[in-house]
Amino acid sequence: MKFTLNVLTLATLAALASTAKAEVTIDMIGGSEVSFEGLIQADSYWYSDDRTVLSSDAVDGVDTDFGMRRAEIILKGKGPGMWNWVLGYDARSDKFLDANVQYKFNGETSITVGQYKQPNSLEELSSTKNNDFISKAMTTNMQGMSRRMGAKIETQKANWGATASYFGNEITNNESPSLGSGDGYGLRGYYAPMNSEGSILHLGLSYIDMEARTALDQSWARLRVRPDADQSNQRLIDTGDLKDADRLKTTGLEGGFVSGPFKLQAEYMTTTVTRDLTSNFEGDSWYVYGVWNITGETWGYKGGVFTTGLGNDPAKGMWQVGVRYDTADLNDGNVNFTNPLAPVVTGVMGGEESNWTVGVNWYWRSNFKLSANYVMADSSRYNTTAKNFLDDNPDIFEMRAQFYW
């Protein structure tokens, strides 16, 4: 099922014709206040390749990628009573987003049934339109769980909260090959010992346990990640298929600190792939970054994630600059070079990668955002043909234009 271009165009025109709001209210239908939101992101990438051609269309001989990243339409309903619902669809990826119903017992505890983001990763749970960098960190893209069908119970207090979820596949069955496709469960808890305007400290812990992918009576898992470039089809580090995988177990640690116009955020994740016939695999990754609101704004905090508000002067906009370091290690083995003509590889040598990203964001009013990032990637992976470790260190310049309502 796909939205036609005409439907997307009409939705965009409707939003443009409305006042600059975060969402557009439609009407009261069956006791439910119905509104819709939209998000359009157009990305441009310029690659300075090293060994790997990063362009998604490598045959054209041009080291660039241009295209739509997201084209989302989201319908929301508040009510009747304590019921809420949401139905989202991304025409770019041809898949459903959040699609669920929720019942709130009070202002703090709720049950949600349907498709929703699973309870792990501070960055993954944060709103996509307010990402601090164009691409999420390798940690989030490789080990963070996105949306799955299931049921969850959640409690959110002013300065702490907890979520328990049981899940299966996505509605559109487009699971990442990096993660299992079977049933699983997730747990997340967070605590904010400091939570006042302009002064926030966030601490979080999450755990995901899920079945490995299964097809034709075979099971496998695979961890890999792009070099902080969403449009590229290439991965510089990759475990390859981990045969006879049973389960994937990921533990995540979160931390975040806000002081006025400054924010620090960090996450660490470690994944264990249990295997039936061979040794288990373990891989980990982490990131840390800082962002400065040059124009003086600060962040809010709700539901265990940071929120981005409007600029102090929406007509001039809000300016941000940031720097991030993220690293991933998919080596869980070793190479014996006693005989350099025939090295002996034991375990899994998926590679290591560390990236620096510097970026700037400009939020104009409540509907428009421009971003620019420069990524310096540094990777190393054992190559069976060369019989040695090969470095691959590309530079990437990225830009994004975003419109949302």
Q: Any idea of the CA torsion for 228, 258, 40, 360, to the nearest 10 degrees?
A: -60
Give whole-number Cα distances, 193 to 159, 171, 300, 301, in Å.
Answer: 7, 37, 15, 12
Backbone angles phi and psi of 402, in degrees to 5: -130, 130
Give whole-number Cα distances, 398 to 40, 135, 153, in Å.
Answer: 16, 9, 38
Its CATH class, for the domain covering 44-66+123-404, is mainly beta
Tell me the pLDDT tens digit for each residue of 210-229. Answer: 998 776 667 788 999 999 99
d(CA 87, CA 74): 6
Percent of the chain with pLDDT over 90: 68
Radius of gyration of the chain (CA): 22
Tell me the pLDDT tens digit for each residue of 147-203. Answer: 999 999 999 998 999 999 999 988 876 445 444 467 899 999 999 999 999 999 999
State both tokens at 91. 């025409």
Of the candidates 227, 256, 49, which has an alpha carbon nearest to the alpha carbon of residue 134?
A: 227
Question: Does 145 have pLDDT greater than 80?
Answer: yes
Q: Which residues contact 217 (CB under 8 A, 6 or more apart)?
A: none
Adjacent-strand bridge partners of 208: 186, 250
Tell me the pLDDT tens digit for each residue of 368-404. Answer: 999 999 999 999 999 988 889 999 999 999 999 999 9
pLDDT of res. 21: 53
Of the candidates 181, 191, 185, 192, which has an alpha carbon nearest to the alpha carbon of residue 118?
A: 185
pLDDT of res. 29: 76
Adjacent-strand bridge partners of 59: none
Q: How confident is the model at residue 46 (pLDDT cuts 50, 70, 90)?
A: very high
β-pairing verdict for 160-167 and 237-238: unpaired
E-state strands within 262-367: 262-275, 281-293, 299-302, 305-308, 318-336, 344-364
d(CA 35, CA 23): 7
Highest mean pLDDT, choosing among 307-311, 327-331, 342-346: 327-331
Q: What's the mean pLDDT in 93-118?
A: 94
d(CA 31, CA 187): 33
State both tokens at 133. 């960098």
d(CA 336, CA 339): 8
pLDDT of res. 96: 94
Q: Which residues contact 17 (CB under 8 A, 6 or more apart)?
A: none
